[in-house]
Structures are given as C-alpha cells and as structure tokens.
Amino acid sequence: MQMQERIEAALSQITRATAEIIDLERIETLIKRYVETGERYTVKAGFDPTGSDLHLGHTVLLSKLRTFQQNGARIQLLIGDFTATIGDPTGKSETRKVLDRETVLANAKTYTDQVFKILDPDLTDVVFNSEWLEALGASGLVALTTTYNVARMLERDDFEKRYKAGKSISVSEFIYPLLQGYDSVALKSDIEIGGTDQKFNLLMGRHLQRVYGVGKEQAVLMMPILEGLDGVQKMSKSLDNYIGITESPKDIYAKTLSISDDLMWRYYELLSEKSLEEIAQMKDEVAAGRLHPKAAKEALAMELVARFYDKAAAKEAKEAFDRVFKAKQTPDDMPEFSLESGTWICKALTETGLEPSTSQARRDIKQGAVRIDGEKVQDERLALDKAGTYVLQVGKRKFAKVKVG
RNA sequence: GGUGAGUUACCCAAGUGGCCAACGGGGGCAGACUGUAAAUCUGCUGGCAUUUGCCUUCGGAGGUUCGAAUCCUCCACUCACCA
C-alpha cells in the first residue's frame, strides 16, 4: 500500500544515524496521521543566542529538522534568550552575563540567517523563551522547582561527575533543566530533538508536560554529538576544533581533509547525504584497497563545500588546495604587507601576524619552520634589506606576502 | 555557624625560603615520516632583548627576609565533614 510505504520511508529517514529515540511509537503515530490527514505536528529544538557562528556540529541537528519538515513537521526553533543568562551546566560554564534585548535579537538574527540555509523558513516558528519564562515569576518558579528533587537532579551525568570531583555546582544550574523542560510545556511540543548530551534536559520536558497536564508527552530524538577535528572532543568554537558553515570554501575543504580516516566515516554518517548503504560500500572498498582513503575524504570535503556554497566552489577549493599542497606552490590569495627595508625577520613575522611574539618567532626560526620564498631561514638575526617582494612562510600553512623597500 | 583541606602557567598537576620562568602529563606549535591525514619519534611551549641579560608570573592585598610560589596577617573563592 502506497501510504504505508510513505510512512516507512519517512521513518527510515528520520531514524537514520540517531543515537537514541524515546517513544518511537509516538513519532510513528504523528507521521501516520500526517500522511493520512495532512495534519502537522511540532518539533522543538533549542539554541542559545550566543551569537556564535554555526558549525557542522549544529548542522547534524538542523539536517534532522529539515528531514522532519519534509515529513510534516513545523519546527519550533527556540531561542533560549532567558536560559542563556544562566548557562547550561556543561562543567566549566560560569554564570553568564545577562544579555540585553538588543544583543539577543541581533544574535538571533545572525543565527536564523544561517539556520535558513538549511531549514525551510515557511515551516519554522522562531520563538523566544523569555516570553513565558519572564511571566512565570518567583511563585511560578518555586512551583516549578517543587516538581523535582535534588537526588534526581544529581543523577544528571554532568552534575554527578562534578559533585564527585568536588567541583562547584551553582544552584542556578539546577534551574536550567527545569526551565528548558518548561519550554516544552509552554510550546506543547510533540517531539523535541537535541544532542545526546541533552538527554537529561530533554526528558525533563516529558516530565513537566506530564506534571503540568499538557495532555501529551513529547517524544525525544537524540542525535550523536559530532566530534571536532581532533576526533575526541565535541565540536565547539571554544575548543577551536570546528568547521563553521560560513567559513570560506577553501577552509572547509582544508579542515575536512585534516581529519583522521576513522573520523571521516563518522562525518560521513552524520553529515553526508549519502545513504548508510552507500557509505558502508565505500568503507568496504577502502578496506579492500580499491579506493584510496584520501579520495574518499576529498569527496566528503567537496560535498560539504557544495552544501554551503555550490559545486563550482567545491571544485575550485579542491584545485586551489591541490595547487598549494600537492604541487607545493604558494596560495594565490595571501595577505600582503609592505615593510621598510632592513626590517628584522622576527619583526616582520609579528607584524604580518604570522607569529604572536618575537620570542615565538625566534623559536620557530631555530627549528627551521620559517621560510622566505621557500628557503629556510637559518639566522634569526636576518634583516630584510634587499628591496623586492617576498613570500614569508611559517610552518606548512601560514603565508604572507611582503613588499620590502 | 564550626572544623579541616585547597587556590601554581591554556588544562591537570609537582614544588613547602635561594639550584624556580617553576618537575611531569595533556593540549598547542614546529621538524621527520606521510595522503598538509591519523599513529609514531624528536624539539619547543611567559614577554622583551639580533644569543647566556632584563622584566612579569604561582588566588588578591600587605608584611617578615639579603632573598618568597614557599613563612606571617588580612581578604576573596572552592571543596569535605559536622550543625
């Protein structure tokens, strides 16, 4: 039966590469109803309005939301402007600064601009949780806190670890999951999706929907956390192990190629449009030696560039990359500087931003990491006194063009 | 409120009067090897000074001393146990 096939196809797309689903039957029911009657359901996903650029880690979630949109969902894109002032308990996070209204709106704007590169704006409602959380008031907040107890709160993995390690836990951090859960009450969400690290908070939504008598308990769909370029830690801006979706094609391409082969398969699974079967097949071919792992990685890098730009940009990024690194040529778009004749090499390096300090510059020269026009600099006392244009290089990837005289 | 322990560089963590810009590990950077991979090995990892010199750093502020990360006083913060 055709309808049954549509339902199954939708479910298979939705469950692809998920980490865990709680109450799958509910999701099935919602999709079935949509296919049969056209009635839509809501999927909530929360984001902090910290104003940072989106990276591939976010796209794992966003792509899943897109899949939901294609299968009957309206997305409740929750901007946690109120909760952002507390900070999700992630171990290190101190209580954050209260963001003023203007900053929040500005951040939300840069956020949604990027989000709509992936999501369909017509099927997305952008909502701010300050709307109902500010109205909650002290009595409302107290009522909210009575629905949970400390022992259960401490079950949260993060709290437990910190507690055992003798680290500080602020009382406000206990409030965070409650407020996030309350968002689900206010929005009457059918489904909420988030990373596996959000499990506790996501389940809180179910708990509170039950306590507050919303009449339904949201299903929860968790996506795996995308590891950053180091392959170990979560991709995040603060660890500087991320690929931003607004980065240049060149950078996206280069960063993708720098990941390990193991991590590549992970990225394929979570980020690629390829089906899991296709990916498994590629993996087999690499294992059998029929496909060079680097070729597979190049394909992934190009797919990612094409996703955020287009195929032409992807091709260009690959060519530029090959030119620089395979043929050992210099890139064609280096920052340019002009320097006075007689400039000391270490000063030249700091002034062009290739090195943070002259001490660091000296160390790198000693180690043979600095080159001028491809020639290793041997003497740290070298002065650039011959007029002309040179290419300064530190390590493999930092370049600058300088004009002397 | 009481008692005890603690706060060291990006992170963890040694150091309990001079040999301390401060052991070790992680991370980072660089070199070798490669596919600008990964893993591995090696070096470096406060700043300034065109080379053994100067300045700043061990929670904060004072003090003792020829000399302090180390001793004393006060303050701030964290944790544990008790209330």
Q: What pLDDT, in 10s, does the model give residues A341-371?
A: 888 999 999 999 899 899 999 999 988 899 9
Question: With 80 as the cut, is the pLDDT of residue A340 above it?
Answer: yes
- Overall average pLDDT of the A287-302 stretch: 94
Listed range (A198-207, A324-333, A334-343) with the worst mean pLDDT: A324-333
* Amino acid type, A389: T
In Å, what is the separation between the CA of A243 and the C1' of B10? 21
In Å, what is the separation between the CA of A282 and the C1' of B57? 53
**Model pLDDT, residue A160:** 83
Angular region, A231: left φ>0, alpha ψ -120 to 50, beta rest? left
Q: Is the CB of A376 under 7 A from strand B?
A: no
Domains and CATH numbers, chain A: 3-223 (3.40.50.620), 249-326 (no CATH), 336-404 (3.10.290.10)
**Model pLDDT, residue A51:** 65
Between residues A50 and A83, the one the model is more confident about: A83
Rounded CA gap, A34 and A369, in Å?
A: 61
Question: With 60 as the cut, is the pLDDT of residue A53 above it?
Answer: yes
Question: With 50 as the cut, is the pLDDT of residue A94 above it?
Answer: no
Question: With 60 as the cut, is the pLDDT of residue A27 above it?
Answer: yes
SS3 A45: strand
Question: Phi/psi at A277 (nearest 5 deg)?
Answer: -65, -45
A173 pLDDT band, cuts 50/70/90, is confident
pLDDT digits (tens, 9 = 90+) for A80-89: 888 876 666 5
In Å, what is the separation between the CA of A154 and the C1' of B2? 27
Between residues A10 and A88, the one the model is more confident about: A10
Q: Is the CB of A16 under 7 A from strand B?
A: no
**Model pLDDT, residue A92:** 44
Q: Is the CB of A154 under 7 A from strand B?
A: no
Chain B nucleotides reached by a protein CB under 7 Å: 27-31, 35-39, 43-50, 77-80
A133 pLDDT band, cuts 50/70/90, is very high
- Overall average pLDDT of the A132-149 stretch: 93
A99 pLDDT band, cuts 50/70/90, is low
Rounded CA gap, A59 and A245, in Å?
A: 9
* Nucleotide nearest residue A397, measured CA to C1': B36
Residue recorded with tokens 């003023």: A100
Between residues A199 and A84, the one the model is more confident about: A199
Please calculate the CA angle A11-A16-A22 and round it to the nearest 5 degrees. 70
Average pLDDT, chain A: 89
* Nucleotide nearest residue A358, measured CA to C1': B48
Of residues 283 to 342 in chain A, which lie within 7 A of strand B by their beta carbon? 293-294, 297, 321, 325-326
- Overall average pLDDT of the A166-180 stretch: 87
What single DSSP character describes residue A227?
Answer: B
* Nucleotide nearest residue A364, measured CA to C1': B30
* Nucleotide nearest residue A257, measured CA to C1': B37
Cα dihedral A103, A244, A332, A361 in deg (nearest 10): 80
A91 pLDDT band, cuts 50/70/90, is very low
Q: Which residues pair with A394 in a beta bridge?
A: A370, A398
Q: Is the CB of A260 under 7 A from strand B?
A: yes
* Nucleotide nearest residue A357, measured CA to C1': B47
Asked whether the beta carbons of A394 and A401 are under 8 A apart, the reply is no
pTM: 0.85
Asked whether the beta carbons of A119 and A77 are under 8 A apart, the reply is yes
- Overall average pLDDT of the A164-188 stretch: 89
**Model pLDDT, residue A179:** 94
- Here the tokens at position A225 are 């956390």
Among candidate residues A323, A331, A298, the one with its CA nearest the CA of residue A397: A331
**Portion of chain A with pLDDT greater than 90, in percent:** 59
Listed range (A21-35, A61-75, A159-173) with the worst mean pLDDT: A159-173
Asked whether the beta carbons of A395 and A365 are under 8 A apart, the reply is no
**Model pLDDT, residue A109:** 87
Q: Is the CB of A396 under 7 A from strand B?
A: yes
pLDDT digits (tens, 9 = 90+) for A364-391: 998 889 999 888 888 888 888 888 888 8
